[in-house]
Structure 1
Amino acid sequence: MTVLVRDLRPDDPADVAAFAHVRHLALPYILWTPEGVVHHLVHTHPDARSRSLVVEEDGETIGTAQLGLVHDSPEPGQAYLNAYVRPDRVRRGAGGLLVRTAEEYLATEGATKVFAWVLDEPACLAFAARHGYGRRRSAHFLRLDLANAALPEPPPPAPGVELCSAADFADDPRPLFALDAETLADEPSDVDVEFTDYEAWLAETWRHPLLNRELTTVAVVDGRPAAFSVAYTDGTRYSTAMTGTARAHRGRGLAKLTKTDSLRRARAAGYTEALTGNDTDNGPMLAINKWLGYAICGTEVRHVRELG
């Protein structure tokens, strides 16, 4: 048995497909496609020094990792590392090899602190602890049987609120960038970021191959986006990538309005399964998802390790 780690080959369709397959087996609550994997590697900002790694056992891909620097944080030295091994290929040394290789690389790039998401399962938590990672906050994965769900009627829009889609901003998406930057700044996070690079947002987010602009609902007030529910799709499944409201418009039910509208249109378009995720302390959004019929299907725990 030979286990080795190497960089993903983004120009090799079979290699990329194997990476996406391992991620789907290990983390089925997130949409993984070859196009999305390549997009993350190729279009992440150069300052992030991003890498995607694979672990092979006798030529078969059994593990993957995505890693890089949080380049837009005002605090230098912050990094991320998310590694996953096929559930039926654990205890072969693949995970440890991924972590060691990634940490060595991140240290050479100036990282002093590494953040990682770890599934809330005994074996995964024990693995993280053995490698020096300490627990932080947690987040839930949620699933909705969209085909059979009794979706509640969306609340009526308040006077002056107009619903449209992200596709309506195709000629000038900058207003959506401004809304995304404001809502992201208020999301629960371990690392502060300064989300100001519009060109990077266009490359990484607006042109993401999974972004479904037609199913992304935007609430507009006085001609400006006030709330949105961002839809990702992979051809068969629908996932909410972000639901947020501008600070000046919170408390008006716009998050519930946009998410309900997006889900209804997704079902009408033929999608039968809906996925989303929430920080466990995000009570308002968890309440909305419970009202919509979502059920928790998994949990992950944020971990951190100081690199000495």
Structure 2
Amino acid sequence: MTVIVRDLRADARDDLEGFARVRHLALPYMVLTPESLAHDLAHMHPDAHYRPLVAVADGEVIGTAQVHLSHESTEPGQGNVNVYVHPEHTRRGAGGLLVRAAEEHLAAHGAVKLYAWVLDEPGNRAFAERHGYRSSRSAHFLRLDLADGTLPPLQDPPPGVELRRGSDFSDDPRPLFELDSETTMDEPSDVDTEFTDYEAWLDETWRHPLFSPELTSVALVDGRPAAFSAARTDGATRYGTVMTGTARAHRNRGLAKLAKNDSLHRARAAGFTQAFTGNDTGNEPMLAINKWFGYEVCATEVRYVRELG
């Protein structure tokens, strides 16, 4: 049974649905839809050289790879290779073919160091190490049962603090861009990220089909965004917070917890039944906040690195 690797076709619904299906089966802790894939293909910044790949056998998508440069990194030449194979189609060579194609693409566009997220399971880690990758930091996926679980009660904002929805900034999202940029720079990561392109942020974040400005919560201090919890959903039952942070000048006041609690309560009221998030294993303050909400670790992934000669 021959396996071939090729580009994901944005105009082929079977490709988009197959990619999303494999990703959901291999990594059910992240929200992804065919529509979000199509949006990424159409709007990812050209400097990212974004190239999603599929491995196909007998006309069925059995493997995927999301491949791009970290164009927002302060250090050039940082590439990303995230490969996932349908759990029922492993050990058929699809993963190796995807890795090879991804590495060739990134090297051709100047990558000197490649990063890959790998589920913390013996087979997956052995696969990465056979391909020359070494382990680095790790991160947890966390899940919260919104349907049957309990949430901490809603709290009134302290004096001088106001809670708003992300959608309240629809006429001018730039203050949220500035807050997202500042907090992202302080996130634990192997790759420093700096948002400087407002128009790219609008395309890739604000207008993304998974992003929910209605369920995104923002804490304002003196009328300016000071903390936020950004939400994405699949439009059905799954909700995820993809970034929760506080501006440096307002930290240690519980504002991120206040914003996230507001978003979670509104997500549950809107009918979402599962909440997901992710944390670097060394980010103890955010892990403590999520434990307070009732999140439980459901999987761990390890960041692997390979330097190209």
TM-score by length of 1: 0.98
Paired residue secondary structure (2:31) = coil
| Structure 1: 5+ residue stretches without partners | none
Q: Where do 1:26-45 residues align within 5 Å?
A: 26-45=26-45
Cα deviation digits, residues 243-278 of structure 1 (max 9, x gap): 000000000000110111110111111111111111
Amino acid at match of 2:165: S
Paired residue secondary structure (1:304) = strand
Q: Where do 1:1-308 residues align within 5 Å?
A: 1-235=1-235, 236-308=237-309
> Aligned partners of 2:103 and 2:253: how far apart in 1?
45
- Note the C-alpha offset of 1:307: 1.1
> Aligned partners of 1:303 and 1:21: how far apart in 2?
24
- Note the C-alpha offset of 1:41: 2.0
- Note the C-alpha offset of 1:152: 1.0
Q: Contact 2:139 / 2:301 at 8 angstroms: preserved in 1?
A: yes
Cα deviation digits, residues 10-64 of structure 1 (max 9, x gap): 0111111111001000000001100111122221100111100000112111000
Report the RMSD for the aligned CA atoms in angstroms.
0.8
Amino acid at match of 2:145: D
Paired residue secondary structure (2:97) = helix
Paired residue secondary structure (1:39) = helix
> Aligned partners of 1:8 and 1:302: how far apart in 2?
24
Q: Contact 2:216 / 2:231 at 8 angstroms: preserved in 1?
A: yes
> Aligned partners of 1:169 and 1:92: how far apart in 2?
49
Paired residue secondary structure (2:76) = coil
> Aligned partners of 1:217 and 1:283: how far apart in 2?
22
Paired residue secondary structure (2:117) = strand
> Aligned partners of 1:74 and 1:141: how far apart in 2?
27
* Residue identity (%): 69
- Matched residue count: 308
> Aligned partners of 2:12 and 2:247: how far apart in 1?
41
Which of structure 1's runs of 4+ aligned residues deviate more than 2 A? Answer: none
> Aligned partners of 2:53 and 2:234: how far apart in 1?
23
TM-score by length of 2: 0.98
Paired residue secondary structure (2:252) = coil
Paired residue secondary structure (1:21) = helix
- Note the C-alpha offset of 1:154: 3.1
Q: Contact 2:184 / 2:194 at 8 angstroms: preserved in 1?
A: no
> Aligned partners of 1:233 and 1:75: how far apart in 2?
31
Cα deviation digits, residues 60-84 of structure 1 (max 9, x gap): 1100001111112222211111010
> Aligned partners of 2:282 and 2:161: how far apart in 1?
29
Amino acid at match of 1:180: D
> Aligned partners of 1:72 and 1:294: how far apart in 2?
30
